[in-house]
Amino acid sequence: MTRIVVTGAAGFIGSNIIAGLNARGLDDIIAVDDLKQGDKFRNLADLKIADYVDADVFYDAFSAGHYGQIEAVFHEGACSDTMETDGKYMMSNNYTLSWNLFQACQKRGARLLYASSAATYGGSETFKEEPAYELPLNVYGYSKLLFDQRMRRECGNDFQRTKAGKTHQVVGFRYFNVYGPREQHKGRMASVAFHQFNQFKSEGRVKLFGEYGGYAGGGQMRDFVFIDDVVAINLWFFDHPSESGIFNLGSGNAQPFNDVASSVVNAMRSLQGETALPLAEIAQQGLIEYVPFPDALRGKYQCYTQADLTRLRAVGCDHRFADVQTGVTQYVKWLATKS
């Protein structure tokens, strides 16, 4: 039986990966997390796992071979708060721990599929997996970039695993703006779609940042990627163990925050039996409120992101991603069933 480890298992992406594995009939899964935030248990309650191990215990025990033969580790555990300013904490969680895990995976013959981030690009206007475009704006982005750089050093810049002894798959996924079910525990770091669902439910309108960075209110553009697509790409690489490298994981299509807002509003209206409205009318009716851009984010905010999928396509992955209107509508319907 294939034994798999998922770190950050009770988190947003980790729990969805377990759900995807379960859908394939795979349940010999060791779930690793830290449940100090107890409500995160809800993300595991409907899933099938073989064991739960606290993060403080797992890493040393895994390195020592305590869990037997592991086929692959999906490493989603990290501090993902882009507003965190404690660099010592961030580097320990996102770099040092990941480096130790990589060494343990190589020692134990396990494949490593890990979470990187589009925050590695930071102030760049080009989103290719190349050092020239990697300009992180915060210590979170740097912690992710440093581990990517270490993997290039250990595995070879092209990740062809040409160095002696480095024979096991290593894949880093540069997640763009992921949204979807099982992110409710993330607080301020949850997606804009999640927050807007709750805003519309409680206030009858949604909120967006106003003008900033040369963009009109709600006009800043991001590559929003639905969680189902993120899981699909993770599992594609799980199915193709010969493919290694650092890959963008976004839809490949930048859309304005206004698209998210109008999708949330219209999905909510549909649930209430009301017809869809164009953005101009949504704004005119006050269903979108544009709020001043916060000073705390000035100079640290990506106004535009769009994943370059050239490298992903080059290895043969032809998965087609949902657009915002499709993904957000599906997500809002899911959220409505949980309210």
Per-residue pLDDT tens, the chain, 339 aa: give them.
799 999 999 999 999 999 999 999 999 999 999 999 999 999 999 999 999 999 999 999 999 999 999 999 999 998 766 667 778 888 888 999 999 999 999 999 999 999 999 999 998 999 999 999 999 988 999 999 999 999 999 998 666 544 445 569 999 999 999 999 999 999 988 999 999 999 999 999 999 999 999 999 999 999 999 999 999 999 999 999 999 999 999 999 999 999 999 999 999 999 999 999 999 999 999 999 999 999 988 887 889 999 999 999 999 999 999 999 999 999 999 999 997
Q: Distance (Å, rounded) from C-alpha 301 to C-alpha 252? A: 19
| Strand locations in 87-169 (E) | 111-117
**What dotted CATH number matches 4-179+226-251+308-321?**
3.40.50.720
The CATH architecture to which 187-221+255-303+327-338 belongs is Alpha-Beta Complex (3.90)
Residue ranges per structural domain of the chain: 4-179+226-251+308-321, 187-221+255-303+327-338
Question: What per-residue confidence (pLDDT) applies to 6?
Answer: 98
210 marked ligand binding residue: yes
- 273 sits in the region (left: phi over 0; alpha: psi -120 to 50; else beta) called left
- To which residue do tokens 């493919």 refer? 243
Nearest partner of 170 among 188, 189, 184, 156, judged by Cα: 156
93 marked ligand binding residue: yes
121 marked ligand binding residue: no
Enumerate the active-site residues.
140, 186
54 marked ligand binding residue: no
144 marked ligand binding residue: yes
Q: How far apart are the first and last CA of the chain?
A: 38
175 within 8 A of 249, measured Cβ to Cβ = yes
Q: Distance (Å, rounded) from C-alpha 219 to C-alpha 109? A: 47
51 within 8 A of 31, measured Cβ to Cβ = yes
Question: What's the sign of the alpha-carbon dihedral 69, 147, 307, 214?
Answer: positive
The CA-atom distances, in angstroms, between 75 and each of 70, 290, 331 are: 13, 37, 24
Q: Distance (Å, rounded) from C-alpha 198 to C-alpha 336? A: 10
Question: What per-residue confidence (pLDDT) applies to 165?
Answer: 52
33 marked ligand binding residue: yes
75 marked ligand binding residue: no
DSSP letter for 190, please: S
Tokens in use for 139? 């210590």
12 marked ligand binding residue: yes
